Structure 1
Amino acid sequence: MSKPLSDHDRKKQISVRGLAGVENVTELKQSFNRHLHFTLVKDRNVATKRDYYFALANTVREHLIGRWIRTQQYYYEKDPKRVYYISLEFYMGRTLQNTMVNLALENACDEAMYQVTHTHYTKMCDIEMGSRSKKACFLDSMASLGLAAYGYGIRYEFGIFNQKIVNGWQVEEADDWLRFGNPWEKARPEYMRPVHFYGRTEHHPDGVKWVDTQVVLALPYDTPVPGYRNNVVNTMRLWSAKAPCEFNLKDFNVGGYIQAVLDRNLAENISRVLYPNDNFFEGKELRLKQEYFVVSATLQDIIRRFKVSKFGSREIARTDFSKLPDKVAIQLNDTHPAMAIPELMRVLVDEEKLSWEKAWDVCVRTCAYTNHTVLPEALERWPVDLFAHLLPRHLEIVYEINRRHLENVAAKFPGDSDRLRRMSLIEESGQKRINMAHLCIVGSHAVNGVAQIHSDILKATIFKDFYEMEPHKFQNKTNGITPRRWLVMCNPGLAEVIAERIGEDFIRDLDQLQTLRNYLNDEGFIRDIAKVKQENKLKFAVHLEEHYKVKINPNSMFDIQVKRIHEYKRQLLNCLHIITYYNRIKKEPNKHWTPRTVMIGGKAAPGYHTAKMIIRLITAIGEVINNDPVVGDRLKVIFLENYRVTLAERAIPAADLSEQISTAGTEASGTGNMKFMLNGALTIGTMDGANVEMAEEAGEDNFFIFGMRVDDVDALEKKGYHAQEYYNRLPELKQAIDQIAGGFFSPKQPELFKEIVNMLMHHDRFKVFADYEDYIKCQEKVNELYKNPKEWTKMVINNIAGCGKFSSDRTITQYAREIWGVEPTLEKLPAPDV
């Protein structure tokens, strides 16, 4: 076994957080003071923590600008194929620390800030507002792999709501994340684009015109996305809706000017607020407007860049659009950007005058579609009437796409009228609706799920007809997370312990974590891993006591389930285990119980009543258990209010047990499960989503697997699921349900949770009771192992060692090679001169 690096070698070789050289620190201090003085117009006598944050952000941003400009110059000179990743949920949020990690400035900034302000930079990072989505992981990886890639989305004025818990209930507050400004973005009014709505179509001999439209302007804001220490800085472009300046002169003359100005808000509402994506489709006109707005503005930008590229400008007459797929790849993240397909066809046919056949060939070869859900209520189906009103030309195009598509289906499967009906883009039963997933499949050259089991389910169930029609289109791209944010940044202690053994190259190549298995019997390594976990738990316990006024036993097992509150994620199954464990402790208070602190966090969509009731049940259970003197510190229950990335960065490194307990076949992938695994938590989970592959990589012996598999769920569905049978057969389950129903956890409102019990007993699509018995037995195994810290930590090491596959670098490399037709490069660009 190789020996750990000496302290001397460690200082030479390991720079996980960057170097803090005297020159770096001096330069950063000067720049910080300059920005505090000249940018913020403050001195240190009156500067606030927020001023310090903005001064530091502008200081770090200076290190990005030269690299950003140089990267774009490089792309223009080399003219590579460009990747455009369109998502309605880009919401980058906290950027400062991530940028410092990727530019190797963390230690230098920390030292400089402490010398200047006597405050560590992490206190300034806490000022930054916002949250972060998995799409942000993908952008990080695209830049780190040197891909010429762009993220496109909407610059929402208000992000997903802030969650407050008031008397146990969720209350939503607006997330005004731009209130104090955003130092990372740069407005680009010179690239503003018009987006059209409403109007009518006119058919002429020379083509179709879309006329009498209402125009909204799309103003782009660019945010730099740095790669990991390779001097590459890519761009995320978010569009903000602005009303045009023209007013109707007649209205002006009759005194309507004021109202005309006020009506500008209607146009600008398009980018006002983010719809919470909670696996539930809301067919609101504003949402369809958002979807078309981002697609139209983005395609105009893509085509502009294609035409002015060195490749495009070489064309003598006009750009040859048959070459567009050689230079452009468009990835549709879920069905939200599905309008890209009819919009690209409109641009190519109506404006660029390509024949339908040529335009369709270009469209299909350019676009690819990622599916994110198998839940039927989550699939977008837009009413034809709404389409006709808002986007009349696009409706005509969708109908023509469908006509030709059904001709192809009929030719391949003659006489199969049922298949024609199932595969149509237009659903005729009841209200006529356009199935956006079908549109994405027909209009793309590649369709992928986000975990192997999910991709297999797509082919076997909801997209079975399309798979049989065009099997070559279907692929799998298992999700991943960026190790820069989700290890180096949020858990530097663990990153250092790993780097001491295997060096720091694992940050770029997470597969190198496999070599940690060489240290499975290394007492020093086992001790170091356990020590880092305990330090993280102590820090988090202090945070919890401060914010929730509950004293936590830091030696208890930190059992955490954090994700959106949804019936399919089965927070209710977790609740039943908590109640069962509580009842067991009460029954035998003198027995040696494994202490647990159970934490559940997540937001319920504002209109999702059942999810809000689940939150109320969790808080009610906590109120009873946390105040029971018999139980003491052996069991505590905390609902983590306003779960977001800042909280995740504290909770995930502190977790001992990760709850991933969705009904098999319902979770597409999950990425929280990967974050917990990388940070040294063990997983209790069903064989669902990416859990399946995580268990394969870590070894099933190192996973706590329970419950039905997908085939078992299907068989139970066919046979008929009867919750009453489990309720009658399992005394502990019956006791827990009776307590909930009888008001044990809501003594002042005994009827409060009757509807949850009614749902579980009579309308539970996700079969909570069917997995209860196996889940309880599996939790007993967890308790037993936790009593043996050494064996627990060995299992942790096996899990960390198996995380290589779950780097978003691997995910993006597969997208690049197998869908986009581009080759990632780890080539480092030269550093800028200034």
Structure 2
Amino acid sequence: MTRISVQQFIDKIEEKRSLKEPNRESYKEIYYIICSILNHYITSDWKQTDDQIRSSKVKQVYYISMEFLIGSLLKNNLLNYDLLTTCNDALTELGFDPEKVYKQEHDPGLGNGGLGRLAACFLDSMASLNYPGVGCGIRYRYGLFEQRIINGYQTEFPDDWLQQDYPWEIRKEQEAVIIEYGGKASLYENESGKLSCRYEGTEKVRAVPYDIPIVGFRNQFINALRLWSAEPIQELQQINQNDYYNHLEYERQVEQISGYLYPDDSSIAGKKLRLKQQYFLVSASLRQILNEYRQYHSSGYHLLYEKVVIQINDTHPSLAIPELMRILMDEEQYSWNDAWHIVTNLFAYTNHTIMSEALETWPVSMIKEIVPRLYMIIEEMNERFCQSIFYNYPDLRKEIPKLAIIADDQVHMARLAIIASFRINGVAKLHTEILKTKEMRTFHQIFPAKFQNKTNGISHRRWLLMTNPKLAKFISSMISPIWIDQPYELNQLLRYTKDKGILEELAAIKLANKQELAHYIHKNTGIMVDDHSIFDVQIKRLHEYKRQLLNVFHIIYLYKRVQENPQLNLMPRTFIFAAKAAPSYHLAKEIIKLIHTVADIVNNDPNIKDKIKVVFLENYNVSLAEKIIPAADVSEQISTASKEASGTGNMKMMMNGALTIGTLDGANIEMENLVGKHNMFIFGLRSEDVYQHYQSGNYRANEIFQTDQRIRFILNQLHDGLFHHSSFKDIYFQLLQTNDPYFILKDFDSYVEAQHLIDFTYRDQLKWQSKCLINIAHSGKFSSDRTINEYASAIWNIKQLN
């Protein structure tokens, strides 16, 4: 792309529309104008990329995921076109605050947590590395929910992110496809003597694609994120008057399919809707994939896997496997064996959970009702697989109920994905080892060559270059901008870990970022925080295994110590939380209320003298993470060992110069291997300890309650009313009556010791900043560029386009 000057950029803005005096309306107007200018370049480069991919007929990856947490795109796209500084200068010259312009963009409600953000980082790296790839997802009308805190309680409101025009999407009406649900499927012998399937009474839905450009970094390479929207196959005005109300109900049901990200599945209706969403995504995506393949390859689908690879992100898209079998057999007249050969060379599966109880299953009756033909195919897959185990692995016959796709009247989606995929990967070394040796041990015994590890990564361009420009500029001044294209080059920073001037400047950058966050906190919560205090950050989905509760217990413990000794020599600490709890997850919502209750007590106690502050920032999303992460001093990665598959928040904060307090879980282990145990704060049980306790049953939470005065005080406060405020009996009983399943009480003492060490270490700022620089220097390993290159070479077998 031709570089343009600030004046040329101003001219382009003024060509679009005459500007008004800066006010709210004109900020929205200028936002759309900037998007329009950028879309002019994107459209041209997108077509050029498409033409290059089609003419070269190279193999492509299709990354199917229920979530793509892409965040706002204007600033990111400007950065990738090397126009961010130019645009900032042009806006400033015109009297606009650039950040106010960028704030006009609502985060797309297309994802919730790490799974969706990982998918977004992967798309970024694919485009930036010139790999041809397409993301396939759903265009949710509403995101998970907009979280507001009312009297300390999480309250959910609709996340109406499409209320205003979304400038990055292009509707592709001409590429819509028809999806069919339910009805009756029956097999019969056709004229050729082959089995065919007859469908009766199905419900038809129109899947309309919207494409969002995924812009590569300074390479004019554009991939697509294709999102499917569910629409009725007929407009209301075309309907006979007698069918008017039936059609209204049909329209309502259809619109729900792409209506909400993760509808509440605590009801049967909610479960059915989720299953419909999953089938909708995979059926529409496969139609697109096959249609695109057929345009350039007229010899049938026998060699489909030589030009296409499909990566399913967790088990949610697993129905793509029987759906492709259905298409190949019922519509293309392939035999079972030929179709199975294609399918088993086409799909690769990423597992994202270690916890067996979290592996996705569906009731047989529900699969039969919503996708009856797919159930017949799954049943046949199951029968053939179980027979193969019975005859080929006689020693494993007793294991068949634990391996079968259909067992206990449930369809086990992870088993389906493992059996039919040519590769299965975990997302951190520990996670993959646990899959191979524990949770999926028998499958690994049968299919040892299928299992691989691909440790997660993050887009270093978004999470450092864009999100933390002060630090990025400082790094480039030391080692040149080479790290932007080659993130491993960040290790050149190791030369400066003893340089006092460098470390002092690093500290000044962190302080400036903390001052910005402190201003944001005061503006949005009214809480004044000390920007020289330790910013201790835990930002992630609210779940028991992520142990926000352990963090809160430490805060209560610290508060009690300061109460008892107001002169206690404690480094001032600001504890920052951000998290959403699933609407039906009662205990997680209770923990949010507990955080706010503790904050209300601590923040308003004049005797504490601002040594401790507790802040909860509502409605956690990508844009909020971009404000918090550059300011973090301490990164809380404290999940129960063996429960967190990888984590990516740990990588983002490491890359921005925060020090990790964490268990040896997920990617924390690989971080420690790189930076050394003295540059992190590791505590708690190891994964082998956790498994030993589970197997032996020798852990007794009540014994800790009886013997540790700190624990007894904290839990009694929960039971009797926290400092004469709210009672949290549900949390109390969850810990003691269910024997503390996530070992919060067991790890508390070790956690407190690690926090003491943080307090002590932070007092020597040169030592602290040296550790921070060591972490930044090693963070290049966790770039998603590295992860995508590994997928491309070891799983996908795709090549970069020049």
TM bin, normalised by shorter chain, reads over 0.9
AA aligned opposite 2:698:
G
AA aligned opposite 1:399:
E
- Please give the TM-score of this superposition, normalised by the length of structure 1: 0.92
Q: Does 1:561 align with 2:538?
A: yes
Which of these residues, 715, 731, 734, is aligned with residue 692 of structure 2?
715
Q: Does 1:226 align with 2:204?
A: no
What stretches of structure 1 move > 6 A for 4+ residues in a row?
41-46, 246-249, 276-283
Q: In structure 2, what is the equivalent of residue 8 of structure 1? A: none
Q: In structure 2, what is the equivalent of residue 365 of structure 1? A: 345
Work out the CA distance in 2 between the residues paired with 1:46 and 1:463.
55
How far residue 331 of structure 1 moved from its aligned partner, in angstroms, is 0.3
CA deviation digits over 1:538-579, x for unaligned, max 9? 111111111111111111000010111110000110011101
Q: How does 1:85-96 map to 2 (within 5 A)?
A: 85-96=63-74
Q: Does 1:149 align with 2:137?
A: no
AA aligned opposite 1:323:
L
How far residue 748 of structure 1 moved from its aligned partner, in angstroms, is 4.6
Q: Does 1:758 align with 2:733?
A: yes
How far residue 416 of structure 1 moved from its aligned partner, in angstroms, is 3.8
Work out the CA distance in 1 between the residues paired with 2:198 and 2:469.
56
Q: In structure 1, what is the equivalent of residue 285 of structure 2? A: 298
1:130 is paired with a residue whose SS is coil
Q: Does 1:501 align with 2:481?
A: no
Work out the CA distance in 2 between the residues paired with 1:49 and 1:725.
60
2:535 is paired with a residue whose SS is strand
Which of these residues, 420, 424, 432, is aligned with residue 400 of structure 2?
420
Q: In structure 1, what is the equivalent of residue 159 of structure 2? A: 175
Work out the CA distance in 1 between the residues paired with 2:375 and 2:601.
56
CA deviation digits over 1:368-395, x for unaligned, max 9? 0001112233211111111111111101
Q: 1:101 to 1:277 in 2, by over 3 A?
A: farther
AA aligned opposite 2:775:
N
Q: In structure 2, what is the equivalent of residue 321 of structure 1? A: 301
Work out the CA distance in 1 between the residues paired with 2:235 and 2:224.
31
8 Å Cα contact 2:171/2:211 also seen in 1: yes
8 Å Cα contact 1:91/1:159 also seen in 2: no
Work out the CA distance in 1 between the residues paired with 2:246 and 2:303.
47
How far residue 580 of structure 1 moved from its aligned partner, in angstroms, is 0.9
Work out the CA distance in 2 between the residues paired with 1:662 and 1:801.
25
Which of these residues, 109, 132, 146, is aligned with residue 87 of structure 2?
109
How far residue 490 of structure 1 moved from its aligned partner, in angstroms, is 0.6
How far residue 283 of structure 1 moved from its aligned partner, in angstroms, is 7.0
AA aligned opposite 2:159:
D
Work out the CA distance in 2 between the residues paired with 1:327 and 1:342.
20
Q: Does 1:29 align with 2:29?
A: no
AA aligned opposite 1:684:
I
Which of these residues, 465, 469, 472, is aligned with residue 492 of structure 1?
469
Q: Does 1:391 align with 2:371?
A: yes
Residue-pair matches, total:
788
Q: How does 1:221-300 map to 2 (within 5 A)?
A: 221-245=210-234, 252=240, 255-261=242-248, 263-275=250-262, 284-300=271-287
Q: After alignment, is 257-266 or 610-619 more displaced?
A: 257-266
Work out the CA distance in 1 between the residues paired with 2:23 and 2:322.
58
Which of these residues, 660, 663, 668, is aligned with residue 686 of structure 1?
663
Q: Does 1:517 align with 2:501?
A: no
1:630 is paired with a residue whose SS is helix
2:144 is paired with a residue whose SS is strand
Q: In structure 2, what is the equivalent of residue 374 of structure 1? A: 354
Work out the CA distance in 1 between the residues paired with 2:329 and 2:8.
55
Q: Does 1:74 align with 2:60?
A: no
How far residue 281 of structure 1 moved from its aligned partner, in angstroms, is 12
Q: 1:592 to 1:402 in 2, by over 3 A?
A: same
Coordinate RMSD, CA, aligned: 2.1
2:17 is paired with a residue whose SS is helix
Q: 1:36 to 1:157 in 2, by over 3 A?
A: farther
1:235 is paired with a residue whose SS is strand
8 Å Cα contact 2:602/2:614 also seen in 1: yes
Q: In structure 2, what is the equivalent of residue 58 of structure 1? A: 36
Work out the CA distance in 2 between the residues paired with 1:439 and 1:369.
10
2:588 is paired with a residue whose SS is helix
Q: After alignment, is 44-53 or 725-734 more displaced?
A: 44-53
1:83 is paired with a residue whose SS is strand
8 Å Cα contact 2:264/2:271 also seen in 1: no
CA deviation digits over 1:189-235, x for unaligned, max 9? 01000001112223222332241221100000000001111110111
Structure 2: where are the runs of 5+ without partners? 112-116
Work out the CA distance in 1 between the residues paired with 2:554 and 2:22.
53
Which of these residues, 499, 522, 535, is aligned with residue 512 of structure 2?
535
Structure 1: where are the runs of 5+ without partners? 1-17, 828-834
CA deviation digits over 1:806-832, x for unaligned, max 9? 00001111111111111345x3xxxxx
Q: 1:27 to 1:637 in 2, by over 3 A?
A: same
Q: 1:356 to 1:768 in 2, by over 3 A?
A: same
Q: In structure 1, what is the equivalent of residue 114 of structure 2? A: none
Q: In structure 2, what is the equivalent of residue 782 of structure 1? A: 758
How far residue 728 of structure 1 moved from its aligned partner, in angstroms, is 1.9
Q: In structure 2, what is the equivalent of residue 217 of structure 1? A: 206
Q: Does 1:793 align with 2:777?
A: no
Q: 1:258 to 1:760 in 2, by over 3 A?
A: closer
Q: In structure 2, what is the equivalent of residue 138 of structure 1? A: 122
Which of these residues, 453, 457, 476, is aligned with residue 480 of structure 1?
457
Work out the CA distance in 2 between the residues paired with 1:43 and 1:346.
60
Q: Does 1:578 align with 2:531?
A: no
How far residue 129 of structure 1 moved from its aligned partner, in angstroms, is 0.5
How far residue 410 of structure 1 moved from its aligned partner, in angstroms, is 1.4
How far residue 31 of structure 1 moved from its aligned partner, in angstroms, is 2.4
Which of these residues, 173, 187, 196, is aligned with residue 189 of structure 1?
173
Q: Does 1:617 align with 2:583?
A: no
Work out the CA distance in 1 between the residues paired with 2:360 and 2:668.
26
Q: State percent identity of aligned pairs.
A: 40
How far residue 279 of structure 1 moved from its aligned partner, in angstroms, is 13
Work out the CA distance in 2 between the residues paired with 1:276 and 1:817.
37
1:803 is paired with a residue whose SS is helix
8 Å Cα contact 2:483/2:489 also seen in 1: yes
Q: In structure 2, what is the equivalent of residue 815 of structure 1? A: 791
2:661 is paired with a residue whose SS is strand
8 Å Cα contact 1:280/1:377 also seen in 2: no
Q: After alignment, is 64-73 or 721-730 more displaced?
A: 721-730
Q: In structure 1, what is the equivalent of residue 570 of structure 2? A: 593
8 Å Cα contact 2:59/2:799 also seen in 1: no
Q: After alignment, is 762-771 or 778-787 more displaced?
A: 762-771
8 Å Cα contact 2:264/2:583 also seen in 1: no
Q: In structure 2, what is the equivalent of residue 343 of structure 1? A: 323
How far residue 697 of structure 1 moved from its aligned partner, in angstroms, is 1.4
Q: In structure 1, what is the equivalent of residue 389 of structure 2? A: 409
CA deviation digits over 1:465-486, x for unaligned, max 9? 1100010000111110001110
Q: 1:278 to 1:374 in 2, by over 3 A?
A: farther
Q: 1:248 to 1:61 in 2, by over 3 A?
A: closer
8 Å Cα contact 2:136/2:285 also seen in 1: yes
8 Å Cα contact 1:68/1:224 also seen in 2: yes
- Please give the TM-score of this superposition, normalised by the length of structure 2: 0.95
AA aligned opposite 1:647:
L
8 Å Cα contact 2:148/2:154 also seen in 1: yes
2:635 is paired with a residue whose SS is strand
CA deviation digits over 1:673-711, x for unaligned, max 9? 100000000000000011111111111211100000011
Q: 1:656 to 1:748 in 2, by over 3 A?
A: closer
Work out the CA distance in 2 between the residues paired with 1:776 and 1:169.
28
AA aligned opposite 2:119:
K
Q: 1:571 to 1:45 in 2, by over 3 A?
A: closer
Q: After alignment, is 378-387 or 614-623 more displaced?
A: 378-387
AA aligned opposite 2:207:
A
How far residue 112 of structure 1 moved from its aligned partner, in angstroms, is 1.3
Q: In structure 2, what is the equivalent of residue 83 of structure 1? A: 61
How far residue 412 of structure 1 moved from its aligned partner, in angstroms, is 2.5
